[in-house]
A and B are shown apart, each in its own frame.
Chain A
Amino acid sequence: MYGGGNIFEVNKSDNLNQEDPVKLDEFEARIARGEKVEPSDWMPALYRKQLIRMIEQHAHSEIIGALPEGTWITRAPGFKRKMALMAKVQDEVGHAQLLYSAAETLGKSREQMMQDLINGRSKYSNIFNYPAFTWADSTIISWLVDAGAIVNQLANSKGSYGPYCRALERICAEESFHLKYGHHAVIHLATGTNIQREMVQGALNRWWPPMMHFFGPPDKISVHTEVLTKWKVKMATNDECRQQFLDMYVPKIWELNLTIPDPNLRKNSETRQWEYSEPDWDEFIRVINGDGPCNAERLSVRRTAEERGEWVRKALLTKEAKYVTPLA
């Protein structure tokens, strides 16, 4: 699960003047032809850096995203829901593994990525800094957050870096189950008793604002990403993803007779674009920078898992085992 939110920051120092112009031309021509870039190909330092950053953040989002849902496994209502949620959380952790591997082909080890996560040097999707208060929150995450992630991941799977695209194809196929399961669970609550309906409406009210943050700041205020678009690192703008999400899911929410907590939400029949109240971007920035309800808890769980598991990994290491960068 992942949104496009917080990933692109092109620094002024990232200029391309140091790159070999002939190789840069060949590289750009390959991408323009629609060919994929493979790990051993020449690539500009900025391309490598931004891809590591993006894939790493995506991987972190998968394991951190497993936490708010994982907490509901033991309290899920009934055996079937427990089985489904367990399978889903296992998938998310498996996705992290696929993504860490894809990032590793670019030369950064998984262990290093984990350390950067724990030390707050690399980010994950902001939405997981919010807590899942009730079972209904967990169903809304499974449905709408995964829906948002699919919008983003389908776009990215058409990008230029071979290993990332291959990982995403596998991930998207698995996410379709998550989405169906989440929708199934939300329909169950929304068509149920008044108490169930209130519960799911409450969860929707809590998750709508972070969901509007999910795809990142509007294009007009987000940083310049022209070169990343040309290199097919960024495949759709934040606003394009948000519009697509609204197009697909607002009708599905409305047909359940649920209320979306935004009185200004409507589709403009002339522009065919959704209009909405601008979400609170100051809060978004504040939470990304560590001051959200769950930031400390999420990192503390990861850190504890790393620390308490270290002796196991040490015991497993064999003298002759040698780490090399994986191939593809």
Chain B
Amino acid sequence: MKMDSLDPRIKRWKLQEQRQEEYSSSSLDQLPTYEVFIQLKEGKAFEHAGIVHASTADMAFLFAKEQFSRRYSCTGMWVVASEQVWVTTYSELEENIYDHIGQPAGEENDPQDDFDVFHLYKRGKQHKHVGQVKAQDTRMALLKAKASFDTGRPVLNIWLIRSINIQASTPEDQVIWSTLSEKTHRDVISYRAGDKLNKFKEKHNEG
């Protein structure tokens, strides 16, 4: 098929016409995914927002800023590689997943790592950050999370992340979140046309 495009870029790019051979990138060059957490307001818990694809945590952070704070501002952002998140199973029928976890048996040895703990309270909602525990591995971290954060309110799923693996914004970064006030062209309030429309309707009805 001849491409007779209305788009001036198509001619500039010298696109080839439809080709018969299949497209495949020589090896699957899929970038890894990073889980993004955002803090909507100062003092609020960080919450899972979604995923970005990137090759490093730094790049993931940049993409996440563009994707998840482009329209609605936030006060902080964390990114972590999906493979660094340790996940429990989901509980069934509103059961508390902590009810299936025992008590810590005795003291453990140093050194200890920090783990960030996230709870899911309702299917369909996002995982919320509840706090940190110190432990030497994820198994101990889970036991300690139960001791610290199990209030009896059903938790349907738990995520544990070694804090060292989280790429986090710092309080000094605050200024990077405050760009939206200049971008009123992204906001519905910039597109009020009621007056113009009413004037047109009046004129038209008279005529």
How far does the alpha carbon of A87 sit from the alpha carbon of B190 in the complex, in Å? 13
Is A200 part of the contact surface with B, judged by Cβ < 8 Å?
no
Is B206 part of the contact surface with A, judged by Cβ < 8 Å?
no
Q: Interface with A: B11-19, B96-104, B165-173, which one? A: B11-19
How far does the alpha carbon of A320 sit from the alpha carbon of B43 in the complex, in Å? 35
From residue 77 to 99 of chain B, which have CB atoms closer than 8 A to chain A? 82-83, 85, 87, 89-90, 92
Residues of B near A166 (CB, < 8 A) are: 50, 124, 126
Q: Interface with B: A10-18, A176-184, A208-216, A269-277, which one? A: A176-184
Is B67 part of the contact surface with A, judged by Cβ < 8 Å?
yes
Is B29 part of the contact surface with A, judged by Cβ < 8 Å?
yes
Is A36 part of the contact surface with B, judged by Cβ < 8 Å?
yes
A interface residues, tally (CB under 8 Å): 75
Is A22 part of the contact surface with B, judged by Cβ < 8 Å?
no
Residues of A near B199 (CB, < 8 A) are: 191
A183, B191: Cβ atoms closer than 8 Å: yes
Flag B161-198 by CB within 8 Å of A: 1 or 0 each. Answer: 00000000000000000000001011110111100110
From residue 136 to 154 of chain B, which have CB atoms closer than 8 A to chain A? none
A324, B29: Cβ atoms closer than 8 Å: no
How far does the alpha carbon of A26 sit from the alpha carbon of B192 in the complex, in Å? 49
Q: Interface with B: A45-53, A93-101, A240-248, which one? A: A93-101
Is A188 part of the contact surface with B, judged by Cβ < 8 Å?
yes
A111, B30: Cβ atoms closer than 8 Å: yes
Given contacts A90-B70, A176-B188, contact A40 B90 (CB under 8 A): yes
A317, B10: Cβ atoms closer than 8 Å: no
B48, A328: Cβ atoms closer than 8 Å: yes
Is A220 part of the contact surface with B, judged by Cβ < 8 Å?
no
Q: Interface with B: A1-9, A57-65, A295-303, which one? A: A295-303
**Closest chain A residue, CB of each to CB of B25:** A310
Residues of B near A301 (CB, < 8 A) are: 10, 13, 15
Identify the 10 closest CB pairs spanning chains A and B, nearest first: A36-B124, A184-B191, A111-B30, A101-B51, A316-B55, A326-B33, A180-B191, A71-B7, A191-B200, A36-B123
Q: Can you list 20 A-B contacts (CB < 8 A)?
A: A71-B8, A84-B191, A94-B67, A94-B70, A109-B28, A115-B23, A118-B23, A119-B22, A176-B188, A184-B193, A191-B197, A255-B201, A296-B17, A301-B15, A313-B29, A317-B31, A318-B56, A321-B32, A322-B83, A327-B35
8 additional contacts (CB under 8 A) given A35-B124, A101-B51, A317-B29: A41-B90, A91-B71, A101-B53, A166-B50, A184-B193, A256-B197, A303-B19, A323-B32
Taking Cβ atoms with an 8 Å cutoff, the residues of B that contact A are: 1, 3, 5-10, 13, 15-19, 22-26, 28-33, 35, 48, 50-53, 55-56, 59, 66-67, 70-72, 82-83, 85, 87, 89-90, 92, 123-124, 126-127, 157, 159, 183, 185-188, 190-193, 196-197, 199-201, 204
